[in-house]
Structure 1
């Protein structure tokens, strides 16, 4: 019995890992002035209909980077990162699904929240390499939480297809990122 491996798709394509999409989402999160569009959240399907982009490779990589940044300070908090991330994503998925008319996919919710955790990684690296006074670090932490909250609530509002409810969406998301800020800074 012979198997022809030449007809098989590449492994990363088969697993659904697209580095161009990861790069595009990362840049869109890091640029707070860029307007969030539907193609940042949805991918074109085979029939032309947009499907929810539920990439989990990027968020897992970002969570590992956050853990690595904390490891530079001598804190082994991988369990906290994954625990808060898992409980927070599940809770926010439930809240956002109840708020939207069409519902949300839990993988899409986790993907949005995971990608928008990237500014928190920058804060954790900053706190590892620079010693800042209390007021400077407090201001940086508040700005980082606001940055994460703003980007993820923009993406979440588009994914939920709700209008004029950004403040309602941003409040629980801000609490989620505030937990990560407490883990990252202290």
Structure 2
């Protein structure tokens, strides 16, 4: 059996004096290039600070929102801070004016219940009590919470499932009709005599006004409470009698 010969092409290595490699007609083995090199097939972007400065010097650079006249339009579109917090001074003032006359209460302004006005009246009541050397911040706040829950459960037990009176609206009603008691606290501190008999007789006027106004407001804001007006008025009478006793004693 004859041996078969294979022709192997010669391999030429570049010499030290010829860095360019061998002649073009001689095949040369190509060594793989490492990645991310300028002559590789993968695109690579280099960052040069000098070239970036030259390229951006000819055009405008965006540095964020302008604080000049153009940026002021964004602040004009935003709502005031009191509106974002849910405090509307015009609405509070209109509700307070409607409470001034318990015989002619504007029920439409109280449909949107809020707690900003009751908190304001609560602070005024505590301030007048503080001027009378009575520190009752926690007592008054606790009685407001308990009174609102009490009136809410009284109405719910009377109306059943037909009533649409929630606790938030009940707290708003109780807080706004605290205004007659605040008046009585201011008058007893500055104008009224110290005798408790006279204070009781004058306090009954403010309590009856608050009772009538709050009962009528509860009946008008809720459905199914007209037939239970007397019992709701009695619960309101108990609530504002307690607040007036804080002023007297």
Q: Could you tell me which residue of structure 1 aligns to residue 114 of structure 2? A: 55
Superimposed CA distance per residue, residues 37-88 of structure 1 (whole angstroms, 9 cap, x where no aligned partner): 441321xxxxxxxxxx221110000011000011111110011100111111
User: Do structure 1's residue 33 and structure 2's residue 96 form an aligned pair?
Assistant: no
Q: Could you tell me which residue of structure 2 aligns to residue 138 of structure 1? A: 200
SS of residue paired to 1:54: coil
- The alignment's TM-score, normalised by the length of structure 2, stands at 0.66
Superimposed CA distance per residue, residues 114-138 of structure 1 (whole angstroms, 9 cap, x where no aligned partner): 0000010111111111324333211
Q: Could you tell me which residue of structure 2 aligns to residue 160 of structure 1? A: 222
Q: What is the RMSD of the two structures over their aligned residues, measured on CA atoms?
A: 1.8
Q: Could you tell me which residue of structure 2 aligns to residue 78 of structure 1? A: 137
Q: CA–CA distance in 1 between the matches of 2:207 and 2:107?
A: 23
Larger radius of gyration: 2
Residues 129 and 156 (structure 1), Cα distance of their counterparts in 2 relative to 1, 3 Å cut: same
Q: CA offset at residue 20 of structure 1?
A: 1.6
- The alignment's TM-score, normalised by the length of structure 1, stands at 0.86
Q: CA offset at residue 15 of structure 1?
A: 2.0
Asked if the contact 1:96–1:160 (Cα under 8 Å) also holds between the matched residues in 2, the reply is no
Q: What are the ranges of 5 or more consecutive residues in structure 1 without an aligned counterpart? A: 43-52
| The 10-residue stretch of structure 1 (127-136 or 70-79) with the greater mean CA deviation from structure 2 | 127-136
Q: What are the ranges of 5 or more consecutive residues in structure 2 without an aligned counterpart? A: 1-63, 66-70
Task: Give the number of the structure whose residues are more often helix, by fraction.
Answer: 1
Higher RCO by CA contacts (8 Å cutoff, separation 6 or greater): 1
